[in-house]
Structure 1
């Protein structure tokens, strides 16, 4: 089967070629859209990421398409209704980076409380004064999680 990968990095290609050697693989660094869909119109499987636009015009130009696999938890870049209409299966990554996202949230909180970005911007201007960099402690603060 022909599988088209979009928004793919060089380091991923070697692994995919090894694991999928019985298939024809096409790799593209750019996202999929109506401008480049002709390159893969015969593919049966699409593997995309968040910047690819798998909308009705793209899906309609791919008569052999059976599966769209997005390498993300979100799927708002895929026209799911059009896929259902064309009997194309859509798969997502059900769990991805929960710890990473939570840790990044705390990194951003610390960056805000300690003015890390402001200090960085000042250093780019060779301004090494501490003026405007006074932060605040997190102790005693309440964090709301939505």
Structure 2
């Protein structure tokens, strides 16, 4: 699976890096927004934090969202 972690701090990566053994994992320090969604349209799992945009227009662009 393709997993994207948004608004992730460097110290948090260690917790999730073991997932990369079986999955494609992306660590994006910025929030999920309409401006950066195009680079991540193929992710199947999204892990956002408090400043990410989870509106219908943004989430609707995630074609493979599980």
TM over 0.5: yes
Higher strand share: 2
Give CA deviations for 1:85-106 in whole Å, capped at 9, x if unaligned.
Answer: xxxxxxxxxxxxxxxxxxxxxx
- Alpha-carbon distance in structure 2 between the residues aligned to 1:63 and 1:42: 6
Unmatched runs of 5 consecutive residues or more in structure 2: none
Structure 1 runs (4+) deviating above 3 angstroms are none
Displacement after TM superposition at 1:15 (Å): 2.0
- Give the TM-score normalised by the residue count of structure 1: 0.43
If you compute each CA radius of gyration, which structure gives the higher value, 1 or 2? 1
Bigger relative contact order, structure 1 or 2 (CA pairs below 8 A, ≥6 apart): 2
Displacement after TM superposition at 1:54 (Å): 1.1
- Give the TM-score normalised by the residue count of structure 2: 0.91
- Alpha-carbon distance in structure 2 between the residues aligned to 1:59 and 1:48: 11
Counterparts of residues 56-95 of structure 1 (less than 5 Å)? 56-66=56-66
Query: What root-mean-square deviation, in Å, do the aligned CA atoms of Structure 1 and Structure 2 show?
Result: 0.9
Unmatched runs of 5 consecutive residues or more in structure 1: 67-146
